[in-house]
């Protein structure tokens, strides 16, 4: 199996590289029967990576959803272990959303479809399969787009399963700054509402076309910019200007207000992902008024942390200076 996958990726040639995740590098592979797959190559230098490999296999081998990348198989017989996923032919969302040129501009209908599809995939993870799975690293680079720009959630290396009788788990902090919920960032307290928070940030990024920049002044925070327009009663002014006004104003208002709701400081004030998915598709739903979301200022982090967007267990996360309140 390992030899077959090694040949399929042309011996993991750099030209076949599709991307890099928190636990390994992904390559495009062509199997002997012509089937195209994505092969994730993991290097096990520590026990942590071994645990992540088996965690990823165990969690997603039994789940199937149109908005989740499917795991097709794995190999543990070579010098490093490999995961084989379905190949998603388009690029990652971040590669299209944040590259500003006329070719890459996503229409509003595509953006809304990506938001709705990702919401449905997350709702399924949180209980639709009969098991509660928390992804822990929802972000634009972990959303893959197929040939029709339909979204698929990828990279389950940090995902964890929560028993139905537990309200939360306490765990080592892992994820990406800018998408991490405050209660998880500061206390390591993890619930599915941490995914809801990350999804809220993602929603606002998709709608505004702006990456949530937490490594500079608050004015660069996407949450802050949307909140400012919401308070000024001109929330749709936050929509990506490259769309030149070509968007459904009611849909845009719903997306931005739900995005603010998902990023509330209080876990109790955030909706569930099933509620989010329903609100996006059922216009009869009443959307509560959001409170001001937290604005993370990560500029106080050490240069080493600032160079790493995705990490595990940095002590700087517990520094109260990373929480900059709004005014």
**Domains of the chain in sequence order:** 2-86 (3.30.200.20), 93-324 (1.10.510.10)
Residue whose entry in the numeric block shows the structure tokens 């009788």: 165
Range in 189-193, 196-200, 257-261, 322-326 the model is least confident about: 322-326
Question: How many residues comprise the chain?
Answer: 327
Q: Is 311 left (phi over 0), alpha (psi -120 to 50) or beta?
A: beta
Per-residue pLDDT at 325: 35
Q: Band of the pLDDT at 102, cuts 50, 70, 90?
A: low
**pLDDT(314) > 60:** no
CA-angle at 141, arms to 242 and 316, nearest 5°: 110
**pLDDT(319) > 50:** no
Residue whose entry in the numeric block shows the structure tokens 């290396």: 157
Q: Which has the higher per-residue pLDDT, 307 or 193?
A: 193
**pLDDT(66) > 50:** yes
Q: Band of the pLDDT at 226, cuts 50, 70, 90?
A: very high
Per-residue pLDDT at 256: 98
Q: What is the mean pLDDT of the chain?
A: 83
Per-residue pLDDT at 309: 38
Q: Band of the pLDDT at 21, cuts 50, 70, 90?
A: low
DSSP letter, residue 106: P
Measured distance between the N- and C-terminal CA atoms of the chain, rounded to whole angstroms: 58
Per-residue pLDDT at 315: 33
Q: What is the largest CA-CA distance in the chain?
A: 60
Average pLDDT of 256-278?
Answer: 97
Distance CA 138, CA 93 (A): 12
CA 109 from centroid of its chain's CA atoms: 20
Q: Which has the higher per-residue pLDDT, 99 or 222?
A: 222
Name the pTM for this structure: 0.84
Distance CA 313, CA 306 (A): 14
Per-residue pLDDT at 167: 53
Judged on CB neighbours under 10 Å (0-12, 13-18, 19+), 153 is: buried
- Catalytic site residues? 137
- Which of 184, 174, 224, 178 is closest to 202 using CA atoms? 178
**pLDDT(327) > 50:** no
């Amino acid at each position: 199996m390992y030899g077959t996958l090694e040949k399929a990726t042309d011996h993991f040639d750099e030209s076949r590289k599709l991307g890099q995740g928190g636990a390994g590098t992904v390559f495009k592979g062509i199997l002997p029967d012509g089937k195209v797959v994505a092969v994730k190559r993991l290097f096990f230098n520590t026990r942590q990576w071994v645990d992540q490999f088996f965690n990823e296999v165990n969690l997603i081998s039994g789940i199937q959803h149109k908005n989740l990348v499917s795991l097709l198989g794995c190999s543990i017989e070579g010098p490093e272990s490999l995961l084989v996923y379905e190949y998603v032919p388009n690029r990652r969302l971040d590669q299209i959303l944040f590259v500003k040129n006329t070719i890459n501009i996503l229409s509003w209908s595509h953006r809304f479809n990506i938001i709705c599809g990702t919401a449905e995939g997350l709702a399924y993870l949180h209980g639709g399969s009969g098991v509660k799975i928390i992804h822990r690293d929802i972000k634009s680079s972990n959303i893959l787009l197929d040939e029709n720009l339909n979204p698929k959630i990828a990279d389950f290396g940090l995902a964890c399963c929560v028993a139905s009788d537990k309200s939360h788990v306490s765990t080592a902090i892992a994820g990406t700054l800018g998408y991490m919920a405050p209660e998880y960032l500061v206390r390591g307290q993890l619930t599915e509402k941490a995914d809801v928070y990350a999804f809220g940030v993602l929603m606002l990024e998709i709608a505004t076309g702006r990456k949530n920049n937490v490594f500079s002044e608050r004015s660069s925070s996407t949450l802050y910019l949307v909140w400012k327009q919401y308070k000024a009663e001109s929330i749709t002014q936050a929509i990506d200007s490259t769309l030149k006004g070509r968007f459904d104003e009611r849909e845009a208002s719903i997306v931005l207000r739900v995005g603010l709701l998902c990023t509330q400081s209080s876990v109790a004030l955030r909706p569930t992902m099933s509620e989010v998915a329903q609100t996006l598709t059922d216009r009869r739903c009443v959307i509560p008024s959001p409170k001001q979301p937290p604005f993370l200022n990560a500029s106080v982090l050490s240069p080493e942390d600032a160079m790493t967007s995705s990490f595990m267990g940095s002590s700087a996360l517990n520094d109260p200076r990373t929480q900059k309140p709004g005014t």
